[in-house]
Amino acid sequence: MNVLSAVFLLAGCALSLVAAIGLVRFPDLLSRMHTATKPQVLGLLLILVGVGLRLRDWTDVGMLLAVAVFQLLTAPVAAHMVGRAAYRHGAVRRDTLLVDELTPVLSSDPDGQSGRE
């Protein structure tokens, strides 16, 4: 079980390292935002699984599950809000977007109060 725990921990650390390198290396905001959420969340989940396999106490596993659930709930919402704010402030290069669904919404309601988010 210790070997399996070590494999999960190393895989999670590797994914988190790749995410950190991507944050530094990627050129634009949307790419950086992607690398800040996708591999980082999976890396953290793998680390939590590795720690859970190592500890095996129900109170510790319950706390690790709470951390995993909160991470899965907050990371996509935070990325969405950062992306939307960056789009509104012109930090996103619109020529790189394949589908731009936000322009019609913002042009019909510039304050964003239409309720359609």
Instruction: Supply 78's token pair.
Output: 């935070």
User: What's 40's DSSP letter?
Assistant: H
Q: Indicate the pTM of the whole model.
A: 0.78
Q: Where are the domains of the chain?
A: 2-108
Q: How far is CA 1 from the centre of its chain?
A: 29
Q: Do the beta carbons of residue 39 and residue 12 sit within 8 Å? A: no
Residue with tokens 């106490």: 57
Q: What is the pLDDT along the chain (117 residues), one digit of tens a residue?
A: 899 999 999 999 999 999 999 989 988 888 888 888 888 899 999 999 999 999 989 999 999 999 999 999 999 899 889 888 888 888 887 777 777 777 787 777 655 555 554
Neighbouring C-beta atoms of residue 67, cutoff 10 Å? 15
Instruction: Supply 13's token pair.
Output: 């650390």
For domain 2-108, give the fold: Helix Hairpins (1.10.287)
